[in-house]
A and B are shown apart, each in its own frame.
Chain A
Amino acid sequence: MGVLHIFQKKEKDSGKLAKDRLKILLISDRISCSPETMEKLKMDIARVISKYMKVDTGNMEIQITKEEAKNGRVVKSPILYANVPILDLKH
């Protein structure tokens, strides 16, 4: 599901690859937020959380998604999901 899978898997059907590329592309297109900005945001989030606990920055993921309405199209405002694996709660 995550962004990193694309880079980890080398051999892959090109149709699946196209779909994964599009998903990422469209997230940034839809909110006009570039992958570079997302990467910066991720690093900033990691830095702030690191003040309080030890986190696995290499495996964290962030994603901006939109909740979909029943009839298909997006209605609600976008949501930022961050998946931050904690290595040690004490710091």
Chain B
Amino acid sequence: MSEVIVVTSGKGGVGKTTTTANLGTGLAAMGKRVALIDTDIGLRNLDVVMGLENRIVYNLVDVVEGKCRIKQALIRDKRYPGLYLMPSAQTRDKTAVTPPQMIKMVQSLREQFDYVLLDCPAGIEQGFQNAIAGADRAFVITTPEVSSIRDADRIIGLLEANEIGRTDLVVNKIKIDMVRRGDMMSVSDVSDILAIPLIGIVPDDENVVIASNQGEPLVGNATLAGRAYTNICMRVLGQEIPFLNFEKRISIWTRVTGIFHRN
């Protein structure tokens, strides 16, 4: 019953870690048992986005090298009882772990969790191979920019070549105003080009930065991005949720940002 999802993109800075943190937190808020694994060895970030950086004792490399048990490396989230984080090692590099070791670790996590989410590093080297090794399905994150879409296309090809069962698209950092005046590709432009099923649309929302400053994922709150992530979580659970219609929401959006400015 459990599902292992790798969150990947090819290009850096498009929102893999933010997406992983929010999906994991959202699924846990919906009562699921979730393990988040930061597979970016040497550049660990998921702990910071989750606000759990002060609780790290052991990490992924320690588990793989047999220095500790999986349970010892899993950090329990401060918000939801079913949510755990396996941090990456900061002082090692990608070669410290191999795909067979990842498969073995993911297999044992699978027995204890409903969802295992793997935050993939940027690039297509060994870190990527490690992250996708044990995954059942993948979420490809892209922004509506040429470079990021090109990398996403390459990643989709590699996921296919590695026989990942299912690959879904998340279009992140959409700027509604720019799309409306024709200066940004629309979500349908992006999904037409990449030709994989769309599972999420996340608007460019400054609340994402605020949330990461605070180390609190924004899934579930009333911000546009928070709602977009909640919707993705519900789609992961198999519910049919319509995509947010940003065109109609401009006035509300302005009101929402207005409230934040006043505060």
Contact = CB atoms under 8 A, between A and B. Distances in A.
Interface string A57-82: 00000000000100111100000000
Interface residues of B, number: 24
A27 to B, nearest CB: 10
A14 B146 contact: no
B146 A13 contact: no
A16 B179 CA distance: 10
Interface string B45-84: 0000000000000000000000000000000000000000
Interface in B196-238: 196-197
B193 A30 contact: no
Given A25-B146, A29-B150, A29-B154, A15 B183 contact: yes
B152 to A, nearest CB: 10
Contacts of B181: 13
Determine which residue in B144, B145, B154, B182 has the highest number of CB atoms from chain A within 10 A of its CB, and name it.
B182
Given A15-B184, A18-B146, A72 B196 contact: yes
Nearest to A69: B195
Contacts of B125: none
Contacts of B150: 22, 25-26, 29
A51 interface: no
Interface in B147-193: 149-150, 153-154, 156-157, 160, 167, 178-179, 181-186, 189, 193
Contacts of A15: 144, 178-179, 182-186, 189
Interface in A13-61: 13-16, 18-19, 21-23, 25-26, 29-30
Contact of A13 (B145, B160, B182, B195): B182
Interface residues of A, number: 18
Contact of B195 (A16, A18, A25, A72): A72
B182 A14 contact: yes
Given A68-B195, A72-B197, A26 B153 contact: yes
Contact of B193 (A22, A71, A73, A74): A22
A16 B186 CA distance: 9
A44 to B, nearest CB: 28
10 A-B pairs with least C-beta separation: A13-B182, A14-B183, A19-B189, A15-B185, A72-B195, A15-B184, A15-B182, A18-B146, A26-B153, A72-B196
23 contacts: A13-B181, A13-B182, A14-B182, A14-B183, A15-B144, A15-B178, A15-B179, A15-B182, A18-B145, A18-B146, A19-B193, A21-B146, A22-B146, A22-B149, A22-B150, A22-B193, A29-B150, A30-B157, A68-B195, A72-B195, A72-B197, A73-B156, A74-B195
